[in-house]
Copies of this chain bind each other. A is one copy, B any other.
């Protein structure tokens, strides 16, 4: 097809502007038309694909995935860890990336809430040392004997130590044997104050647990495998700071949750930056639950998890601009 005269001038304007980098007034002068027309032609050139502007997809594939996840779930920032050729697998790299991301998010004078779990423990292990005076690291939930390298309180302290921050531990068990005891303990001033202060945190850090026999809560002895199965049948989709959430990310109404000493989910939601770190690609459902419940604003995941999330994105819409 022969080029149409009107297309011809659009092409010329686009060429001079984008390829040669002339200004619109220079283009206008050269084509003998007004600058306003040039602006119009350039818009048309972009709209019709004569000029294409694209963000790189190969070199920054993990960044592209990250942006897409942000858009799909309305998150603040997402970091995607891609497997490196000849390197450790992506899952193993997640805590390393998460630790440096975490450091970048922390600022002077802030209060940071951390839960505990295998992923957070791994992060503590690789957390770089930094000098963040006036920072307070508080534990988000009660303690338990843990089958890992640190006890929960040690984990908090280790992170605080590496940041040269103040560590504030939670001197209560995560789970108690009766609802009554849990309620009474939550009413103790020292505990109540700590729980109330959670909403004042500037940043929270946690992972999301699964609801099966391999779950962290089971391994720590907070719950038996059969209890977990029962809860799962009752709609438990994930574990956040020791508490069971359903697939909408709301607190499950169950006996177990009533026996827990941990930060209230609404307090957690009130924290501006809620950083969730997920290593295992099998945690798709728990993560979706947490996302649905608004429990996450910053997310560190593997590329594989990013793809799975996108495949399940409720509405792949573009985030509305302000």
Using a CB–CB distance below 8 Å, which chain A residues touch chain B?
Answer: 1-3, 5, 7-8, 11-12, 14-16, 18-22, 26, 29-30, 45, 49-60, 62-64, 66-67, 71, 77, 79, 81-82, 84-87, 93, 96-97, 100-101, 104, 108, 128, 131-134, 164, 318-319, 321-322
Contacts and interface: CB of A to CB of B under 8 A. Distances in A.
A302 B91 CA distance: 50
Contact of A56 (B2, B51, B108): B51
A61 to B, nearest CB: 9
B11 A321 contact: no
Contacts of A77: 12
B51 A3 contact: no
A51 B53 contact: yes
11 contacts: A1-B62, A2-B82, A3-B62, A3-B63, A8-B79, A11-B55, A11-B59, A20-B318, A26-B322, A56-B131, A57-B131
Contact of A321 (B26, B64, B84): B26
B79 A20 contact: no
Contact of A60 (B50, B85, B318): B50
A100 B93 CA distance: 39
Contacts of A59: 3, 8, 11-12, 15, 49-50, 131, 133, 164
Given A45-B55, A51-B56, A58-B164, 11 more contacts: A2-B93, A2-B97, A8-B66, A11-B58, A11-B59, A11-B60, A19-B55, A20-B321, A49-B56, A56-B131, A58-B133
Nearest to A129: B56
Contacts of A318: 20
A51 B50 contact: no
B50 A52 contact: no
A131 B19 CA distance: 17
Contacts of A8: 59, 63, 66, 79
A30 B16 CA distance: 33
B52 A54 contact: yes
B18 A53 contact: yes
A58 B63 CA distance: 32
Given A54-B52, A132-B58, A15 B85 contact: no
A103 to B, nearest CB: 10
